[in-house]
Structure 1
Amino acid sequence: MKLNTQEWGTGDRVALLVHGIMSDHRTWRRVGPALAERGYRVIAVDQRGHGLSPRGAGETPQERYALEAYAEDLVETLPAGVSLELAVGHSLGGITLLRAVERLAPARAVYVDPAWQFGQAEGVDPAMFVEFRHATREQIAGLNPRWEAEDIEVELATLAAWDPDSALAMPGQHSGLPVAPAVPSLVVLADQSFLVSAEDAELLRRRGFEVRTVPGAGHTVHRDDHEGFLAALEGWI
């Protein structure tokens, strides 16, 4: 499936940004321009069922939103002949990127609070995501006190454009921690991440990943602390 994309910047240094569930390319509204200022041509996708990209095909949510299909979409969407210097995936985007990384072959990969352990995370129920689609401006602001006002408006817009079946498809689809990085890889975690425990983080280090945490940041690290997120990427961008 060819995905909708948003680009910032020009040139041969290409960076790919892959958003998390319920979101789309607009979550990168500050990160995309920041990378463009550093000389990248930035390509941000809307994953299937998100933003302006098509919905999946099939009779069940699992058929429409199989994890491997997300990865195939990335490979199909990246322009022919493009050599990736950097690929960044947040949450669900971290699963997608991990499954596509060998085919995309970026020089460096960054996984932002990846949902590799989604099925094992305590208190994570897909029904909560579906219900959150109807969240109000006040509820979003209350849950994300560090967000700028524009991020709240973006969240409202992306929720309205999202197919909640993508959340219902997650149970039963195996992900899990990677055994080794396919390319040099950084994992950027939320402070006290509910998706990657301290024990998991140490295991990832032993397996060859560099792991950094942004103090005080929640799951959507790049929106909770934009400057802190960019600082965590030092040496990788």
Structure 2
Amino acid sequence: MEDPVSYFPDQNTPMEMLAWDEENLPHDIEGLIDLNPKWSRLDATWKLLSLEQVDFDDARAAFAGNAPWDLRSDVSDLVAKVPTVWVLPEESRFVSIEDKASLRKEAGGRAVNVVPNVGHSVHRDDTETFVEIVERLANGTWFS
């Protein structure tokens, strides 16, 4: 799972995050690349397209309507059923330092991969590392 949102303590938290996105995300390719320096122009173009298509009122209704939620206690059950890797940035708006430590304890250290110098979109910021994890997980060699 890539920088998953496994915990929202209340309805206000996702609302604040979406408000920040709506107010601060650039609506041009150059601005998006400045904010995400490892992105290609194509990455920024796709993000720009998604920003043009998103209806923030719908997003607010979906996130706030589902919050609060807390999936952190389900980690042990999940890894017992399905080989799972959490692919996380060093700094995340979604997974706290404490939650990273708890994930390592509950899922095992190999199941938690912290990728340096990336943002929320790990697959865009370090494509090679992300693809390697997915391929090794798929062929059964990640945990061996």
The Cα shift of 1:138 comes to: 2.5
- Hey, what does 1:174 align to over in structure 2? 68
Residue deviations 1:31-72 (CA, integer Å, cap 9, x gap): xxxxxxxxxxxxxxxxxxxxxxxxxxxxxxxxxxxxxxxxxx
Indicate yes or no: 2:3 matched with 1:113. Answer: yes
2: CA distance, partners of 1:199 / 1:192: 12
Is the CA contact 2:6–2:71 (under 8 Å) kept in the aligned structure 1? yes
Residue 211 of structure 1, CA deviation: 0.7
Q: Does 1:212 align with 2:113?
A: yes
- The structural deviation recorded for 1:233 is 3.2
Distance 1:176 1:118 in 2: 6
Q: TM-score of the superposition, structure 1-length normalised?
A: 0.47
- Where do 5+ consecutive residues of structure 2 fail to align? 139-144
Q: How does 1:181-220 map to 2 (within 5 A)?
A: 181=78, 182-208=81-107, 210-220=111-121
Is the contact between residue 137 and residue 156 of structure 1 (CA under 8 Å) also seen in structure 2? yes
Q: Match for 1:130: what amino acid?
A: E
2:20 is equivalent to residue 128 of structure 1: yes
Cα RMSD, aligned residues only: 2.7
TM-score scaled by structure 2?
Answer: 0.73
CA distance in 1, matches of 2:117, 2:100: 17
Contact 1:133 1:160 in 2 (8 A): no
Q: Distance in 2 between matches of 1:186 and 1:174?
A: 24
The gaps in structure 1 that reach 5 residues or longer are: 1-110
**Number of equivalences:** 127
Residue 117 of structure 1 aligns with an amino acid whose one-letter code is: Y
Hey, which bits of structure 1, 4+ residues long, moved more than 3 A? 118-121
More strand by share: 1
d(CA) in 1 for partners of 2:25 and 2:104? 35
SS in 2 for 1:207: helix
Contact 1:119 1:171 in 2 (8 A): no
User: Does 1 or 2 have the higher relative contact order (CA < 8 Å, sep 6+)?
Assistant: 2
Identity of aligned residues (%): 34
Q: Is 1:230 matched with 2:120?
A: no
Distance 1:143 1:119 in 2: 27
